[in-house]
Structure formats: C-alpha cells, structure tokens
Amino acid sequence: MYIYNVTVNIEESIKDDWLIWIKKHIPQVLATGKFDKATLTKVLVEEDMGGVTYSIQYRSYSREALDAYYKEDADKLRNEGMKKFADKMLAFRTELQIIDEYTVDFK
C-alpha cells in the first residue's frame, strides 16, 4: 500500500474557506477509485512563514493505482485548488510506502 501525502500551508485569512473547499475536494479524489481512505490533519507546528499547515493522506491500493491517478486525474483535480487559492497557499506532495502496520488490542 501507498500513501499519497499532500501538505498545504494556507494563509490564515482564507483557512476557513479552504477547509470548506478541501472537505468537498477529498471525496472527489476518492471518487476516482484510486484510493480507499483519506485523512485530513492539521500539522501542529508554527511555521516561520506563518499560516496554517494541513496534511491530507490518501491511501492507495497499489503503485499502479497511484500511477493511474497521476496519469488520469491529478492535473484536473490539482488545478481547481490552484485556481481558487494559488497565491495564498503552498503545497508539496510526498509518497509513502507502507512497510508494516501494527495495532494494539485492548481486550
């Protein structure tokens, strides 16, 4: 499994608008069929440049599904956010490969 992580720093003045938008955007990304789960988090650091930082982690079924997302869907979905918030946000993307997962059973 792979995680496609998008980290976004948003100017404080538009964070509420951006949060409304991203909560509609995430289901659109999931609707591509390339991911089975997404998690929206706030990054708990104070940035020197200011603003508020969020991370969206999309969990992909496979490398092939992630590559298909890049080829078939990514540009269209990214462009929407760039048009709306381009001068007030900074985003970067990373890929993570899940090696192993562990859970605690509290029974």
Give tens-digit pLDDT for 53-81.
Answer: 999 999 998 999 999 999 999 999 988 88
Residue range(s) defining the domain that contains residue 92? 2-97
Residue 48 domain-assigned (yes or no) = yes
Q: What are 8's strand-pairing partners?
A: 54, 91
> How many separate domains does the chain show?
1
Q: Look up the pTM and report it.
A: 0.89
pLDDT of 49 over the 80 cut: no
Residue 51 domain-assigned (yes or no) = yes
Please, which residues have CB within 8 angstroms of residue 60's CB and are 6 or more apart in sequence? 1, 2, 3, 4, 34, 35, 36, 66, 69
CATH code for the domain in which residue 55 is found: 3.30.70.100
Structure tokens at 21: 């938008």
